[in-house]
Amino acid sequence: MRIALLGFGSVGQGIARAILAKDLDIIVTGLADSRSGTIDAGGIDLLAALARKGDGGPCGNPGVSPADVVAKAEYDVLVEVTPTNVETAEPALGHIRAALQRHKHVVTSNKGPIALAYPELRDLAEANGVLLKYEATVCGAIPLIHAMQEGLAGNTISRLYGVFNGTCNYILTRMAAEGLTYEQALAEARELGYAEADPTYDVEGIDAGVKLVILANTILDMHTTLDDVERTGITLLTPDALQLAEDLDCTIRLIGEIIPGAGVLRVSPRIVPKVHPLVVEGTLNAVTVEADLAGDLTFIGKGAGSTETASAVIGDLLYIRDRHVQGS
Amino acid sequence: MKLEMKDQPGQLVAALKPISAVGGNIIAVIHQRETSTATETLDVQIVLELPEGRLPNLLELLRAQGVSVVRIGEERLLYECTLIMIGHLMHTDLSDTVDQIDRTGSAEVTELSLVMPAIDAPSSARITIRSTTRAEMKRAIRILRAVAEQKNLLIIEPLEDA
Ligand SMILES: NC(=O)c1ccc[n+]([C@@H]2O[C@H](COP(=O)([O-])OP(=O)(O)OC[C@H]3O[C@@H](n4cnc5c(N)ncnc54)[C@H](OP(=O)(O)O)[C@@H]3O)[C@@H](O)[C@H]2O)c1
């Protein structure tokens, strides 16, 4: 199976390394980062591209743009792993549309286009006889979307809630364990690469909110936007508050929650008993799904990371290959 | 609240019907097997939730059914919920915050632990509310949310309902 890879950062490079390390029968015929691109129908030398990136260079030629790769490369699936923009979803949205119109399947880890334009993109994919998959957009390595779409098909979901943001979970874990202030724990998370220089997107609950919107709109038949999410972040939490929770054998976690029947989408810090399965440590994610036939299920795993997120993208790719790509 | 009665044949069934007739909700039926008297009757306790003001009505109906109620134990505040508040709790009149819940008459603040931080820094408090019904608890939490919004406080609710 041939793929074109847009974005060659943490996730893109993780995909390339997995393709190199494992016999996945995937070749990359198009590759682009923010400054360059390359197209090679015979298969791009990923090792060399990784080396160029490692040296701080571009992955390809400055004369080839991401749009060129989308429009001109010969591939079966476009893999879109460029940065998330939750306001416009661009330029990823345009690239995904263009690929679908070329009858190419699309796999993305980018939350923007899925949160903002899923119904349109799904219809476009259907009209062109191709698939659009986005497992990596929610909870990294955890195959939550696959589980809900396939394994739990036929169930009615009455509630879904959990820890959707590893950065916040790390900060809260450290505040509880060491009595750190929010600022101290955030500084530590930054040093370890768990938090961005501007952590707003994570600590204000926007990232978790976008993931709720994706689950609501693509699986739970709701029609929501980020504005529909009642949202409170963790920036005002105090070590005293964590201690007050601790006194009751509880702790505080940033919980995203969807109650489809009541139209509730909310992200807020909540008091949770320490023995609760959602109380996971460090950057882990954990989600509980309440399903009428299956009962309660809790998924725990790594919500981010180069290899872990690549795992979700590759799962989607092989799903498509096994069902839809001829002659591979 | 708790109703205690003699468990004579037929009494339990006779007691249950009127409870649902007045909109009550049975939470538990407990047989007191260690009853001391040498009679053949056992004591039975019914723990139930009753809408405000329906008790006289229920007792009337029970009497009509020939059920003899031995004792009525009123555990008025059945539901409990503990939340954490963060913000300038003292400067925004903590006792007024508590009052707004107590004033409902059907929910009240039964416990409050306040941690005072350095001067001018936000303080944190744990607040326990008890109420007669689940609906009253929801209402009390709604009131607290509104007060928090107005006073710029952060409310941390439990993951599960009361
Ligand atoms: N990292 C994770 O663990 C994780 C988990 C789940 C989902 N995601 C999502 O996956 C996506 C990628 O994340 P990441 O961590 O790999 O990001 P990243 O490390 O910042 O890499 C982004 C890549 O996209 C390239 N890029 C930026 N703008 C572009 C454009 N206009 N056209 C083409 N390429 C462009 C960048 O180019 P340069 O190399 O030239 O800068 C870089 O190679 C994001 O949407 C993120 O939200 C990430």
Ligand 1 nearest atom to the CA of residue A12, by list position? 16
Residues A125 and A201 in one domain: no
Cα dihedral: A215, A217, A219, A220 (round 10): 100
Question: Which residue among the candidates A104, A133, A211, A302 is catalytic per the annotation?
Answer: A211
| CA gap A28, A201 in Å, rounded | 32
How many structural domains compose chain A?
2
| CA gap A108, A113 in Å, rounded | 9
ipTM value for the complex: 0.88
Asked if residues A283 and A167 have their Cβ atoms less than 8 Å apart, the reply is yes
pLDDT attached to residue B10? 72
Give the tokens for residue A254. 């940033």
Exposure of A245 by Cβ count < 10 A (0-12 exposed, 13-18 middle, 19+ buried)? buried
| Residue contact B159–A240, C-beta within 8 A | no
Summarised one tens digit per residue, pLDDT across range B133-155 is 888 899 999 999 999 999 999 99
Give the tokens for residue B109. 């603040």
Which among B83, B113, B122 has the least Cβ separation from residue A238? B122
| CA gap B94, B113 in Å, rounded | 12
pLDDT attached to residue B33? 57
Residue with the bigger pLDDT between B22 and B73: it is B22
All residues of chain A having their beta carbon less than 8 Å from the beta carbon of residue B122 are: 236, 238
Lowest model confidence (mean pLDDT) among A58-62, A312-316, B48-52: B48-52
Give the tokens for residue A66. 């991401």
Lowest model confidence (mean pLDDT) among A32-41, A286-295, B53-62, B87-96: B53-62
Residues A212 and A318 in one domain: no
Residues A163 and A49 in one domain: no
pLDDT attached to residue A63? 96
Identify which of A113, A122, A160 has the alpha carbon closest to the alpha carbon of residue A139. Answer: A160
| CA gap A58, A39 in Å, rounded | 14
| Residue contact B156–A243, C-beta within 8 A | no
Residues A198 and A127 in one domain: no
Q: Which of residues 102-161 of B touch A (CB under 8 A)?
A: 113, 115, 117, 122-126, 154, 156-159
Q: Does ligand 1 have an atom closer than 6 angstroms to the CB of A32? A: yes
A211 annotated active-site:
yes
> Atom 18 in ligand 1: which residue has the minimum CA distance?
A9
> Atom 10 in ligand 1: which residue has the minimum CA distance?
A109
Residues A22 and A134 in one domain: yes
Identify which of B135, B146, B73 has the alpha carbon closest to the alpha carbon of residue B107. Answer: B135
Identify which of A141, A136, A134 has the alpha carbon closest to the alpha carbon of residue A117. Answer: A134
Q: Structure pTM?
A: 0.87
Helix A239-246 with A166-178: angle, nearest 10 deg: 70
| Residue contact B124–A272, C-beta within 8 A | no
Section A184-196 average pLDDT: 96
> Atom 15 in ligand 1: which residue has the minimum CA distance?
A10
pLDDT attached to residue A328? 46
Pairing mode, if any, of strands A284-291 and A27-32? unpaired
Summarised one tens digit per residue, pLDDT across range A74-114 is 999 999 999 999 999 999 999 999 999 999 999 999 999 99
Amino acid letter, B111: E
Question: Is residue A328, in this structure, part of any structural domain at all?
Answer: no
| CA gap A23, A26 in Å, rounded | 8
Identify which of A24, A21, A20 has the alpha carbon closest to the alpha carbon of residue A49. Answer: A20
Asked if residues A143 and A302 have their Cβ atoms less than 8 Å apart, the reply is no
Amino acid letter, A157: I
Give the tokens for residue B101. 């819940």
B85, pLDDT greater than 70 = yes
Identify which of A26, A15, A32, A109 has the alpha carbon closest to the alpha carbon of residue A69. Answer: A32
**Domains, chain B, ranges and CATH?**
2-71 (3.30.70.260), 79-156 (3.30.70.260)
Residue A217 lies in domain: 147-301
pLDDT attached to residue B11? 73
Average pLDDT, chain B: 84
Asked if residues B71 and B43 have their Cβ atoms less than 8 Å apart, the reply is no
CATH number, residue A258: 3.30.360.10
